[in-house]
Amino acid sequence: MSASRLPLAEQIQAEQAAILRRNLPFSLCGALLTVGLVWAALRDAVPAGQLLAWFLAQAAWTLVRAWGVTRYRRATGSAAGLARWRRAAIATTGVAGLLWGIPFAYWMLHVDLPHQMFLIVALLTLGTGAIYAYCIDLPLLYAFELPYFSLPFVAILTIPGTMHTVLALAAALYLAVTLVFAQRMSRTQIDSLRLRFENLSLVESLQREKDAAERSDLAKSRFLAAASHDLRQPVHALSLFIGVLKEQPLPDESRRLVDSVGRAASALGTLFEALLNISRLDAGVVRVNRRTFALAALFDQLLLEFTPQADAKSLVLRVRPTRAVVYTDPALLDRILRNLVDNAIRNTPRGGVLLACRPRRGAWRIEVWDTGAGIPASEQDKVFWEFHQLNNPERDRGKGLGLGLAIVRRTAKLLGHTVGLRSRPGRGSVFAITVPRMAERHVDQPAAAPAHRAAGALRGRLVFVIDDDTENRHGLQLLLEAWGCRVVAGASGREILLAAAQRNERPDLIISDYRLRNHETGIEVIDALHEEYNDESIPAMLVSGDTDPQRLAEAAARTWPLMHKPVEPAELREALARMLG
């Protein structure tokens, strides 16, 4: 059992013993030195035989006490062992006090006044040193000090004369003051030990809580990544089959049914996209591309896109015109503002939402105001936690997922921007983000977007598909064939290499799932195909349902596009046409 987990009283006792063990060698050396000084001072006043006998007794007992010090290490194995060692130390120290007190009391009666004064000075010197050496353990101190001081002082009191009576009384007063001082020193040291061990216990408790929280957070992230991956697979297959159905000629009623199923699948995709954004930010794979741009176009786009959502709730969405020019990543700022506006509309039952911008100390403060229920002060930090929602115990999906503000905080931290919140319950809330301010003349002109090839660019192209999930592989094959592609599909790198060996044609495109069976990855399969055809220029795409931050970082290290399941067929078609173009 570690010392930190012992009861507090046992920890203090163990440390008292350790301090005593460290002090004993110095006190023994000091005692032997004092013996030598007494010998030198009394050799003309005390018979040599007495001094020699006393010296030998002191030396022998010092060796006994030194041997006791060496037994300390063996005693530290248990509380009982330390208790026995302490009792032995008290006993040997008490005998040491007698070895000083008895001879000094006898000599005090048989030497002249100058030598008596020396004996008193020697007593006070060694006795004062004993206080510092032994006060950590009061019983041990008393075992030494009482016989050490009391016997010589009683002897002085028996000597006739006022001087000796006064000396005896002064010595008794000194002993009393000394013991009171020693008690206070002992209490101070023990209180210091108690405070030290209580602080250590508190630090260890906090560390355990911190470790438990980190393990819990890691377990949560792993669970979310695994659950997200497993759920994405069937949803991805569903999305692909819906895309195939949309390519077919259908009656109007059937097409409306397919559209409804598509909207349900898209809602699932929204949840997965939010989870993916959190994972991307945690993984550190989101790249920041800062430039100078005007906010007006972004504000206009947000007004255009969110007005129908506000109208559906009979809310007024207003955007205050601005000529602000900022320096940041426009795509990431767009994500932040979308989440803030969406959050405001979802949580405002009546009134309206305002998006505005105002100058603030060399920066622009972009604010989203709402007239919702407001947020209590105790909840204002918690609303930025994942899945934490106010007033939504039933987890109504129409009120959001509880991830938008978590994404806002993480994205703002990535950009180095400050997110603020002011709220009054019953009056509404104001979410704000502060971004660097730039002059209008510094606005960067974005490059014109390249024109995408028409969907006809896919027709006749040979595409290799690798996915270990049968439904996903089959769905993607059907969708690509519906677009006019020729498809070779396999569940693993070995299968696709065998299929490639039977064709004398180089693929136009490779699409691979990221995580395959037997710990194989899409990266390894694509590398193997590039090596097979000795051509690393063959376009390749990774498709993954994995949101684990480490895997995202591994995939981001390659230059190939990475799309996350469930993939919308329209987005996939556009991405493939762009790659082949």
Place of tokens 């001094």: 51
Q: How far apart (Å, rounded) are the C-alpha atoms in residues 492 and 512?
A: 9
| Residue-level pLDDT at 393 | 44
Q: How many CB atoms lie within 10 A of CB 33?
A: 11
Burial of 115 (0-12, 13-18, 19+ CB in 10 A): middle
Residue 180 corresponds to which tokens in the numbers above? 């009171």
Residues with Cβ within 8 Å of 548's Cβ and at least 6 positions away in sequence, in order, are: 221, 222, 225, 226, 229, 279, 283
Question: Quick check: 496 and 480 in contact, CB under 8 A?
Answer: no
Q: How far apart (Å, rounded) are the C-alpha atoms in residues 533 and 497?
A: 10
Taking the CA of residue 244 as centre, how many other CA atoms within 13 Å lie in the half-sphere pointing to its CB? Answer: 16
Residues with Cβ within 8 Å of 429's Cβ and at least 6 positions away in sequence, in order, are: 344, 369, 370, 372, 374, 375, 421, 422, 423
| Residue-level pLDDT at 453 | 47
| Residue-level pLDDT at 449 | 37
Tell me the DSSP string of 37-56: HHHHHHTTTS-HHHHHHHHH
Report residue 286's pLDDT band, with 50, 70 and 90 as the boundaries. Answer: low
Q: How many CB atoms lie within 10 A of CB 241?
A: 20
Residue 464 pLDDT exceeds 90: yes
| Residue-level pLDDT at 388 | 52
Residue 508 pLDDT exceeds 60: yes
pLDDT digits (tens, 9 = 90+) for 159-208: 888 888 888 888 788 878 888 888 888 888 888 888 888 888 888 888 88
Query: In this predicted model, which residue has the larger pLDDT, 312 or 277?
Result: 312
Residue 395 pLDDT exceeds 50: no
Residue 384 corresponds to which tokens in the numbers above? 């930025």
Quick one: average pLDDT of 478-496? 89
> Among candidates 343, 539, 549, which has minimal Cα distance to 453?
539
Quick one: average pLDDT of 292-308? 86
| Residue-level pLDDT at 415 | 84
Residue 222 pLDDT exceeds 70: no
| Residue-level pLDDT at 420 | 86
Report residue 411's pLDDT band, with 50, 70 and 90 as the boundaries. Answer: confident
Residue 398 pLDDT exceeds 60: no
Amino acid at 521: T
Q: How far apart (Å, rounded) are the C-alpha atoms in residues 98 and 36?
A: 18
Place of tokens 């000084």: 37
End-to-end C-alpha distance for the chain, whole angstroms:
69
| Residue-level pLDDT at 283 | 56
Quick one: average pLDDT of 546-559? 69
Burial of 47 (0-12, 13-18, 19+ CB in 10 A): exposed
Query: In this predicted model, which residue has the larger pLDDT, 234 or 539?
Result: 539
Residue 465 pLDDT exceeds 90: yes
User: Can you list the alpha helix ranges (DSSP code H) found in 284-313?
Assistant: 296-312
| Residue-level pLDDT at 450 | 42
pLDDT digits (tens, 9 = 90+) for 416-454: 888 888 888 878 888 999 998 876 555 554 443 343 444
Place of tokens 């929204």: 270
> Among candidates 551, 527, 526, which has minimal Cα distance to 466?
526
Say which range, 26-30, 385-389, 404-408, 552-556, has the weakest mean pLDDT: 385-389
| Residue-level pLDDT at 356 | 92
Highest mean pLDDT among 61-75, 294-308, 523-537, 541-555: 523-537
| Residue-level pLDDT at 353 | 92
| Residue-level pLDDT at 281 | 61
Question: Quick check: 54 and 40 in contact, CB under 8 A?
Answer: no
Say which range, 130-134, 146-150, 235-239, has the weakest mean pLDDT: 235-239
Quick one: average pLDDT of 253-259? 76
What is the CA angle 510-514-518, rounded to 5? 115
Strand order across the 428-436 sheet:
316-319, 352-360, 363-370, 428-436, 418-424
| Residue-level pLDDT at 455 | 53
Quick one: average pLDDT of 538-555? 76
Bridge partner list, 559:
none
Place of tokens 């040599």: 48
Percent of all residues in the chain with a pLDDT value above 70, rounded to a whole number: 83
Average pLDDT, the chain: 80
Whole-number Cα distances in Å, 45 to 110, 150, 168, 360: 8, 23, 22, 93
| Residue-level pLDDT at 397 | 46
Residue 578 pLDDT exceeds 80: yes
Phi-psi region of 161 (alpha: psi -120 to 50; beta: other; left: phi over 0): left
Q: How far apart (Å, rounded) are the C-alpha atoms in residues 85 and 72?
A: 7
Residue 285 corresponds to which tokens in the numbers above? 């794979």
Highest mean pLDDT among 79-83, 392-396, 460-464: 460-464
